[in-house]
Amino acid sequence: MGLLQPHGRGRRLFRRDALTEDSPVIVVHSLTHAVAALTAAAEAGRPVILASAPEAGIYGGPGWFREMIAAAREAAPAPHSTMLLDCGDDAGAAQAAIRAGIEAIVFTGRADVAGRLADIAGRRGVRLLTERLALALDLSTDFLAPPETLRRRCAFLLASLPPV
């Protein structure tokens, strides 16, 4: 898997197998989506990864995503959630996400650039992935669904997973 972080000795990098053990990845496209996912996660007592759509860091930017997740966390605190912003192969978008304090980012660009970004990210406590995680649920097909429908869809997903 493609998680790059500083090794701790020099500037070497190591890879980890997963961002967060046993945390399903739910792609959210709006505040309503994020609140529904966090509400279902709180009800299930499970951690979740709230991910952006592919390359959303390029066209939406990190400020929008950070504030959307912050508002969702305030509205529906879950036991644990991680925000993951996909910046595609755009190093500038990845740097902006690091500066904005996004918890974890996806960067799919060149390996040498990923190495430099991982060093910068590591100094700021940001996790950098070089591959997209497998999705458990993408709420794009339910973009305009009512909040309760979204919550039920997330709850069904979380109930179908093995216990943590």
pLDDT in tens, 76-102: 987 789 999 999 999 999 999 999 999
pLDDT in tens, 110-132: 999 999 999 999 999 999 999 99
Distances (CA, A) of 36 to 17, 26, 94: 27, 11, 27
Q: What fold does the segment set 21-160 form as a domain?
A: TIM Barrel (3.20.20)
Q: At what angle do helices 111-124 and 91-100 cross, to 10 degrees?
A: 10
**Strand bridging mode 3-6 / 25-27:** unpaired
pTM score of the predicted model = 0.87
